[in-house]
Amino acid sequence: MSNLDRQAALSVCGGRGFVPGEPVHELLSPRHVRLGESTRVRRLLPNLGRRMVGGWAFVDHYGPDDIADEPGMQVPPHPHMGLQTVSWLHDGEVLHRDSLGSLRTVRPRELGLMTSGRAISHSEESPRPHARYLHGAQLWVALPEAHRNVEPRFEHHPDLPVVTAPGLTATVILGELDGVLSPGTVYTPIVGADLTLSQSATASLPLHPDFEYAVLSMSGEAHVDGVPVLPGSMLYLGCGRTELPLRAGSDAGLMLLGGEPFEEEIVMWWNFIGRTGEEIAQAREAWMTGDRFGSVHGYDGARLRAPDLPPVPLKPRGRVR
């Protein structure tokens, strides 16, 4: 999914400088962003107070939206580099096309994982006809220096492993949880899991004390480590935890995100992750004038034009909060 912000700012993210070494509770409120004609998203990362969670660098939550009489998601072809995109649905379908020739419909609780590596472009749209409701999350994972120029690829995993406990089902999207491993390719120590809680359920998930964690509420009423988290908000939990207590006031859906704090400082702008502003500027120019990112065939519409860059290129000098 694209960042469609026409005033996209260069942001420095990553580094361990502002990662707390102990458990914390930071409730992150979303910024509302329009995505295409009929979809509004709640952007949780990057956030004014928290730029990353492990390798997770971008989190949008959208829906549930009634799109019965709407076009639904319509994101024209756009480029990515230096990151992985994770498409995750609770309702609806998203048709993915990319410059590798991939054509795949991603459905609820199926993993659509695109590794941009050095360069890729793709589009996302609600199929025609499409389901009435659209509800999901789109996330990015930053690629570390050693792997940020890997060959691009797209993976579709319709069947993912689960961890179960009374009243809890945890689908392992990426990485490992409680000894259960996702088939999705990862390049940093990371975890992403979809949690389904039954009304009145209480459960505790095992965590890695070296990871930092956050929980995104997708639906329902849930308390995370005793803190109520409403749908569309995210609770940042810090490091140093060995378990995570959960309690549901109603049937609830959550996403657990975590990983080792991302050591490297990165520069993120629009749909690119790099290391310097100059590198970002070169990628923008390549999208506007060259063929580095390839072409997406079959989308009914023009590709996205990149926004203007800020006038002064940015180099990492420390984490921006």
Domains recognised in the chain with CATH numbers: 18-259 (2.60.120.10)
Nearest to 165 by CA among 248, 232, 233, 90: 248
**Residue that the structure tokens 């949008």 belong to:** 60
Supply the pTM of this predicted model.
0.92
Q: How many helices (H) and strands (E) does the chain have?
A: 1, 26
Residues making up the binding site: 78, 80, 122, 124
3-class DSSP state of 70: coil
Give the model confidence (pLDDT) of 162-198 as tens digits.
999 999 999 999 999 999 999 999 999 999 999 999 9
Q: How far apart are CA 187 and CA 158, in angstroms?
A: 21
Q: How far apart are CA 130 and CA 71, in angstroms?
A: 9
Give the number of C-alpha atoms closer than 13 A to the C-alpha of residue 135, restricted to the C-beta side.
16
Name the helix (H) or strand (E) containing 285. helix 277-289
Residue 17 pLDDT more than 90? Answer: no
Residues making up the binding site for Fe cation: 78, 80, 122, 124
| Average pLDDT of span 282-298 | 97
For the ranges 31-40, 104-113, 119-128, 273-282, the lowest mean pLDDT is seen at: 31-40
Question: What does the pLDDT read at residue 317?
Answer: 43
Name residues whose C-beta falls within 8 Å of residue 4's C-beta, 6 or more positions apart in sequence: 33, 34, 35, 36, 75, 304
Question: What does the pLDDT read at residue 263?
Answer: 93
Beta bridge pairs of residue 172: 193
Name the helix (H) or strand (E) containing 283. helix 277-289
Q: How far apart are CA 208 and CA 206, in angstroms?
A: 7
Residue 321 pLDDT more than 50? Answer: no
Residue 39 pLDDT more than 90? Answer: no
| Average pLDDT of span 32-51 | 83
Residue 7 pLDDT more than 70? Answer: no
| Average pLDDT of span 10-31 | 84
Give per-residue burial for 81-92: e unless 16+ CB within 10 Å, then b: bbbbbbbbbbbb
Residue 242 pLDDT more than 90? Answer: yes
Give the model confidence (pLDDT) of 58-70 as tens digits.
999 999 999 999 9
Residue 40 pLDDT grade (very low, low, confident, very high; cuts 50, 70, 90):
confident
Q: How far apart are CA 135 and CA 88, in angstroms?
A: 9
Residue 316 pLDDT more than 80? Answer: no
Residue 202 pLDDT more than 60? Answer: yes
